[in-house]
Copies of this chain bind each other. A is one copy, B any other.
Amino acid sequence: MRRLIRKRSEKAGLPPGTLVYVGEKKVEKVKISIIDYDENQITEKAAATIEECFPFKDKPNVTWINIDGLHEVDIIEKLGSHFGLHPLLLEDILNTEQRPKLEESENYIFFVLKMIFSVDKDEEMQAEQVSIILGPNFVISFQERQGDVFDAVRDRIRKSKGRIRRVGADYLAYALLDAIVDSYFSVLENVGEKIEDTEQQLTVNPSTQTLQLIRKLKNEMIFLRKSVWPLRELISGFQRLETSLVQQLTGVYIRDVYDHTIQVIDTIESYRDMISGMLDIYLSSISNRMNEVMKVLTIFASIFIPLTFFAGIYGMNFENMPELSWQWGYFGLLGFMAIIIIVLVIYFKRKKWL
- The chain A residues found within 8 Å of chain B, CB to CB, are 1, 3-6, 8-9, 11-18, 86, 88, 97-99, 101, 103, 151-153, 155-156, 161-164, 175, 178-179, 182-183, 185-186, 188-189, 192-193, 195-196, 199, 203, 205, 208, 211-212, 215, 218-219, 222-223, 225-226, 230, 252-253, 255-256, 259, 262-263, 266-267, 270-271, 273-274, 277, 279-298, 300-302, 304-309, 311-321, 323-330, 333, 351-353
| Residue contact B324 to A329, C-beta cutoff 8 Å | no
Q: Write out the residue numbers on chain B whose beta carbons fall within 8 Å of the beta carbon of A286.
A: 284, 287-288, 291
| Residue contact B312 to A321, C-beta cutoff 8 Å | no
Q: Write out the residue numbers on chain B whose beta carbons fall within 8 Å of the beta carbon of A222.
A: 270, 273-274, 277
Of the candidates B9, B161, B188, B309, the one whose C-beta lies within 8 Å of that of A15 is: B161
Tallying the copies of this chain within the complex gives 5
| Residue contact A288 to B152, C-beta cutoff 8 Å | no
Q: Which 9 residue pairs are nearest across A and B when measured between Cβ atoms?
A: A13-B152, A15-B162, A311-B312, A9-B186, A314-B316, A318-B330, A297-B298, A315-B315, A300-B302
CA A324 – CA B330 in complex, angstroms?
Answer: 12
Which of A17, A162, A300, A351 has its CB near the most chain B CB atoms (within 10 A)? A300
Q: Write out the residue numbers on chain B whose beta carbons fall within 8 Å of the beta carbon of A98.
A: 259, 263
Knowing A178-B16, A286-B288, A287-B283 touch, does A317 contact B314 (C-beta < 8 A)? yes
Of the candidates B185, B218, B284, the one whose C-beta lies within 8 Å of that of A283 is: B284
CA A325 – CA B161 in complex, angstroms?
Answer: 99
* Distance in Å: Cβ of A261 to nearest Cβ of chain B: 10
| Residue contact A208 to B305, C-beta cutoff 8 Å | no
| Residue contact B101 to A259, C-beta cutoff 8 Å | yes
A to B CB contacts below 8 Å, 25 in the list:
A1-B196, A3-B189, A5-B192, A12-B152, A12-B185, A13-B153, A14-B152, A16-B162, A88-B252, A99-B259, A99-B263, A208-B285, A208-B288, A215-B277, A222-B270, A280-B283, A287-B290, A289-B291, A291-B293, A294-B294, A304-B305, A304-B306, A309-B311, A314-B316, A317-B324
Q: A226-B266, A316-B333, A319-B324 are in contact. List 15 more A-B contacts (CB 8 A).
A: A1-B196, A9-B185, A9-B186, A12-B179, A13-B151, A211-B284, A215-B281, A279-B280, A280-B283, A293-B294, A294-B298, A304-B308, A307-B312, A308-B312, A314-B318
